[in-house]
Every structure is written in C-alpha cells, then in structure tokens.
Chains A and B, each alone.
Chain A
C-alpha cells in the first residue's frame, strides 16, 4: 500500500472519529474512554506480526512482551468497560429488557 493511500485512510478515519463522538453524557465519558482505550489494544496485531516473523531471541522477547501488553490492553479494557456499564445501564427500568437481550 502506498503512503498516499495510507494517509487518505488516516485522514478519513480521523473525521469519522470526530463525528461519532458528539454530545456524550458525562456519565458515559469514563466507559467510552475505557472502550476506546481497549480498541487501541489493536496494536497487539503488530506484536503478532513481529513474533510471527522473528528469527532471533531478542526480537522474540520484545515481540512477546508486546503481545502480552497488547492483550492485557484489549482483554482488560473491554472487560472493565463491560463491568462499568453493567453497573449503571441495568438500573433504569426501561432498559432492563433491552439489557438482558444484549447480554445473550
């Protein structure tokens, strides 16, 4: 992929990111930050590629730590967000039905 294409993707994605976040109720600031935090754990893919192609001990070690770090970021991030949201999305009565169906 050439650089121009990549920069095009970058700029378009930046606008999408700006647009999807609008008028977030304060209550959701923390969970949303935590969720986007989990999403940047996507960098674990880089770790997989590094280790997958490595042929020496040092790169193995660097890549291994990167995979562990990235996976903690992803798994921990999504789980902790889920716990947070589970705490207060459950409460309003109107949501109780929608919520249980989301879980299944």
Chain B
C-alpha cells in the first residue's frame, strides 16, 4: 500500500495546472474587492476550481470512479438547488452552512488520511501527522460552530446569547484537553497512535465548536461566520501539507489570511474587536439597560394613516432598513411605499448601516432585489450629515444600529458603535412589531424620544398600508 502523499502529483503538467488554478484564485479574490469586477472575479475563481478538480481526477492511480462521480454529482445537485432556492434573506445562513460542510470535509479527510497511515503500519512522519491533527481539530470546530451559527440565523436555536455557568472554564478545559490529546497522539506517532483517542479528539473539538459559538448573540454572527471561514481555509491548507498538494496549501492559506483581514474589517465596522465578539457574549451586560427599560416610559404610537400624512407632506425622507425588513420580506412593499412618495415629489433615500441585517451588504442585496436604484442607497457616513435636514426618517425593522445610546451612554454594551443618527431628523417613524430589544438585547432610547412615533406592525404589512394610505390622500 502506498502513502497518500506518494500520489502527490509529480507530473510537470499536473503541477503547471495546479499553478494555473491557484493563480486564478488570486486574480478572482483581487477582482472580488471591486464592485465593477466582483462578478467576473467570482467566475474566474470558479474556473480555477474546475481546473483543480479535473487535474486531480487525471492523477495516476485514482480509482473508485463510481463513488467519485456519484459524490461530485450529488454535491453539485444539492449545492445548486440550495443556492437557487434560497431566499435572499436566507443568504447569511447559507454561507454558514457551506462553510460548515467545507470544515466537515476537512475533518473527514484528516480522519481518512489518519486511517490510511495506520493501515500502512509504518511510522507516521510528524510532518504529515501534525497537519492531520490540526486539520481534524479545526475542521471539526468549524463544522459544528457553523452549524450552530446556521441554527441561530435560521431561528432553530435562540439567537440570543446563551450563557451557561462556568462556560469559559469548560471551554478552556476542553481546549487544553484537545491539545493534550493531540500531543499524546503525536508522541505515539512511531508506535501506532490510538484511533479511539483520535475519534475522541474529533468529538471534543466538535463540542468546543458548539460551546464557543452558542454564547454569541445573533448580531455578531457575521463576524463569527467570517472567522470560521478563515479557520476552514487554514485547516484546508494543513490538509494540503499532509497530502503534499500545492493547490490545497495555496488556496487554503489564501482563504485563511484574506478571511482574517475580512473578519477584522467587519469587526471594525461594528466597533468591536474579534476577541470581544468571541469572549464577551454581547448582551451579557444588559443589566443596566434592562433596569432603565424596566420603568414605564411613554411612547407615541401612531397608525398607518398618520404615518402616511407625515410622509406625504415631507420634502425629504430617509428609510433606514434593518433585519426586520428582511424577516418580513418587506423590501418590495418598502419600494412601493417609496414609489408613492416619489410620485408626490418627495425625495426618498435609503440609509444603509454597514452591519444592518445579519451580514454586511445584506440590505443592499435585498433592496437591489426590489429594484431600488443603486445610487439611492447611501452609506452611513454619507447620510448622517444629511439627517438634520431630513424631514422624516423611517426606521423599518432596524434597532441597535439606530440606538442613540451608542453615542450618549458610555456604559451601554454598544457604546462607541457607529449608528445612523436618525434622532437628528425632524421626525422619526419606527415601524416595529413591539418594543422588544434587538439582537444586542438592550433597550433602544430612540423609541422614547419626543420626535419618535412608533407604528406597531409587521414591516411588510405596515409598508403596504402606508403606501395605500398615501395613494388615497
């Protein structure tokens, strides 16, 4: 029996094709950073992937064609159907799911390679074994962590931070246990390491992935998914080192490093550090916020007709969408409402907070789907100076990203997070189902301000009602 590494492509043609493949990945990512070339960049990377797969299939000694073709076909069908069917609102959890299966694949490959090395019976060289252990652990963490992220975004698991007593301690213990077991396995590399212990580590890593993501609130999921994405990339690179496969090393590392940068950029947009996201458990500190929210504070509640009148006689209106719009699938109704206003000569713009929704760019995608012109979508820094000149700001399903506490209350858990300054507008209409707090789990002072009116309704219903009322005026 030969080592899997021995199958490493030594043929010159294969190496050249692998170099072509990873070059295409680099070009693809580079193009993906500019709006005009992003779509093309994605295509280029996909072509690179096709080159890499076909090249690998042409390797000498590859057999089991039935299983290979069956696996590729099944994966293609599932991936294609899922991508076509998914609602635009479901994209964040879809990305989490794809990331998870990627991590799962890495962990499984590491296990299979370990079994293969055991079957050969000789000593497992450490330069193969260490990357195997690394990719097994990280792949497993990524698979289960992404699964939890998916569950939270899909609403299968509560999106609120889940706090268990002594959790940090348990996590630390698990991590130490995993590392210790890996050292034991590694030191046995010459004398046949135990497969039982290997599988135990696989399971412990799974528990670690679950326990680390579980306490993190839904609002931080984009950062978590991005981080897990980088992890999966690194584990793929490690698998590449174990398999002596250049294109795996390069592609995995690229994703690992670019994913790390992307994660930090996202965290910066939310004014949070990655460490803070992972260990602070956002919403764990609302004790103060809850106390102040406990006292009954008066809110002004209005109906669709009043809202329509306020809007129709305004000169400029800014719509601030958030996750509530996504959940209610309200983007088309919102566009319709804006259309009615524009017919009456009202200037309507949309203010997009960098982390509105569950992912950066989430709102842009949804509004673009509803055919809202690109130039009407204003970024936070462009729209905030306009706010004092805005007659009515309409907040649709957004919460934390408009909370003035981020600016005014240094003790707030979201203190310092940049917000859309809707309270600067002459009037504010908040369309929301209830006064319940957003994903950060804190009360929003905006709701109690004097120039704020609450329209308690489902976002889609409210937008449709207001549009009809404006039409009737």
Contacts and interface: CB of A to CB of B under 8 A. Distances in A.
Interface of A: 1, 3, 6-7, 9-10, 13-18, 20-55, 58-60, 62-92, 95, 98-99, 102-103
24 contacts: A1-B246, A9-B246, A17-B255, A17-B259, A20-B29, A20-B30, A21-B265, A26-B360, A28-B33, A28-B38, A30-B365, A34-B98, A36-B233, A39-B28, A40-B236, A45-B53, A49-B4, A49-B56, A52-B62, A52-B64, A64-B71, A71-B74, A81-B42, A87-B368
Contacts of B379: 26
A16 B27 CA distance: 11
B68 A30 contact: no
A58 B111 CA distance: 11
A43 to B, nearest CB: 4
A85 B80 contact: no
Q: Which of A44, A46, A85 has the most CB of B within 10 A?
A: A46
A10 B249 contact: yes
B300 interface: no
Interface in B1-44: 1-2, 4, 7-8, 22, 25-26, 28-30, 32-36, 38-43
B365 A72 contact: no
A31 B261 contact: no
Contacts of B115: 58-59, 62
Contacts of A37: 95, 98-99, 102, 229, 232, 255
A92 B375 CA distance: 7
A35 B25 CA distance: 10
B237 A10 contact: yes
Nearest to A90: B368
Contact of A17 (B82, B239, B243, B258): B258
Contacts of A102: 39-40, 43
B63 interface: yes
A89 B74 contact: no
B127 A75 contact: no
A69 B53 CA distance: 14
List the 4 closest pairs (A to B, CB-CB), nearest first.
Answer: A71-B75, A17-B257, A67-B71, A76-B79
B248 interface: yes
A13 B251 CA distance: 8
A90 to B, nearest CB: 8
A68 B229 contact: no
A84 B28 CA distance: 16
A6 B244 contact: yes
A44 to B, nearest CB: 7
Given A39-B251, A95-B35, 18 more contacts: A6-B249, A16-B26, A20-B33, A21-B33, A26-B361, A28-B34, A30-B92, A33-B259, A39-B49, A42-B52, A43-B239, A46-B113, A52-B68, A60-B64, A73-B98, A73-B101, A82-B39, A87-B368
Interface stretch (B83-91, B173-181, B276-284): B83-91
B116 A53 contact: yes
B108 interface: yes
B105 A47 contact: yes
A91 B49 CA distance: 28
B255 A73 contact: no
B143 to A, nearest CB: 9
Nearest to A87: B368
Contacts of A79: 79-80, 83-84
Q: Which of A28, A30, A103 has the most CB of B within 10 A?
A: A30
A91 B350 CA distance: 15
A89 B87 CA distance: 18
A72 B83 CA distance: 10
Contacts of A68: 71, 74-75, 78
Given A45-B56, A49-B4, A80-B86, A20 B26 contact: yes
Interface string B354-368: 100001111011001
A34 B68 contact: no
B109 A50 contact: yes
A99 B74 contact: no
B266 A67 contact: no
B45 interface: yes
B83 A47 contact: no
B61 interface: yes
B257 A45 contact: no
Interface string B103-124: 0111011011101100000000
A8 B59 CA distance: 25
B251 A73 contact: no
